[in-house]
Amino acid sequence: MTWFQEGLYEHHAQMLSMDSVIYHWRTEFQDVLIFENAVFGKVLVLDGVVQLTERDNHIYHEMIAHVPLMAHGRARDVLIVGGGDGGTLKEVLKHPVERATLVEIDGEVIDLSRLYIPEVSDGAFDDPRADVLIMDGTRYIEQSRESFDVIVIDSTDPMGPGEPLFTPAFYGACRRRLRPGGMIVVQSGAPFFQPKELEMVCGRLAASFAGVRPYLAPVPTYAGGMLALVAAGESRDALRPPCKVLRERFGELQGRTRYYTPEVHRAAFTLAPSFGPSCLRE
Ligand code: SAM
């Protein structure tokens, strides 16, 4: 049996059997590997780091998209930075948004995901409301004059092309692109292994946003089984509305999510006092 080993952290590695290799290539920006695993189905790896698997990507994509969109409640324009696999786009387009702009640095990630893992985007790239731009997210934010209700940073980790997406300057520029009541969500890695990254994201967002709140989602293929996300907006309470409000907003989305519910939304922000870095604590 051939094994893929993800060795992101010192003294810890996780392995997945590569039951068949579907694709392996180096694009202009990163190494792309797609393989099949008997448990997780198709697996997308960028620069040696697992990005998604067929079996559990819905948890990641639903929690990064529906939490800010449901908290906002009336988003018309949404920006996704990264997210070339199309999973976040698919979830965003389940809402009655007018436009979802996706800015991905590596067009080959989009092409390869559409070709080899089409179930992740499930036709989202063909939706007339989807506006796809191939460019660096930092350059887009600096140059664009568009404004948004929700911005989702669905990037790789703070290394390689993803690194500039974690800077205070980038978060400040995102803040300026948001309309009143706007919200941002940042993919913030595996909290057990990357507590400093999570602290960093919380601290840097706090320089531009009055309300900053981390939340968690269980994603089995991320090291430690947990994904940290950080949401930010004008107030902490706005990010986690009462269940009654979320249930009213759930409407058309009900029955179209596999993991997200209003109760899961509320619970995701409830963090044990002893867990992880201090920024995770209420
Ligand atoms: N689920 C993911 C994970 O595990 O972190 C993230 C998924 S998505 C595939 C991440 C995408 O961000 C990649 O396709 C990568 O090319 C893109 N990306 C990285 N840096 C970027 C930048 N500066 N601007 C726009 N997109 C970027």
Question: Same domain for 167 and 180?
Answer: yes
Does residue 243 sit in the same domain as residue 214? yes
Q: Are both 157 and 184 inside the same structural domain?
A: yes
The CB of 52 under 6 Å from ligand 1? The reply is yes
Ligand 1 atom 27: residue of nearest CA: 82
Tally of domains in the chain: 2
Average pLDDT (129-154) is: 97
Residues 91 and 143 placed together within one structural domain of the fold:
yes
Residue 154 is a catalytic residue: yes
Lowest mean pLDDT among 11-15, 16-20, 151-155, 191-195: 191-195
Residue 96: Cβ within 10 Å count? 13
The CATH code of the domain that includes 155 is: 3.40.50.150
Q: Is the pLDDT of residue 281 over 80?
A: no
Q: What is the pLDDT of residue 241?
A: 98
Ligand 1 mean position, distance from CA 246 (Å): 29
Structure ipTM: 0.97
pLDDT confidence of residue 8: 84
Query: Active-site residue among 31, 122, 154, 237?
Result: 154
> Are both 269 and 192 inside the same structural domain?
yes
Which residue range forms the structural domain that includes residue 8?
A: 3-53
230 plus 115 within the same structural domain? yes
Please, what is the average pLDDT of the chain? 95
Could you tell me if the CB of 85 is within 6 A of ligand 1?
Answer: yes
pLDDT surpassing 60 at residue 181? yes
Residue with CA nearest ligand 1 atom 11: 82
Domain of 32, CATH number, reads 2.30.140.10
- Establish whether 194 is an annotated binding residue: no
48 and 62 housed in the same domain: no
pTM tops 0.95: yes
Cβ(51) to ligand 1 under 6 A? yes
Asked if residue 279 has pLDDT above 60, the reply is no
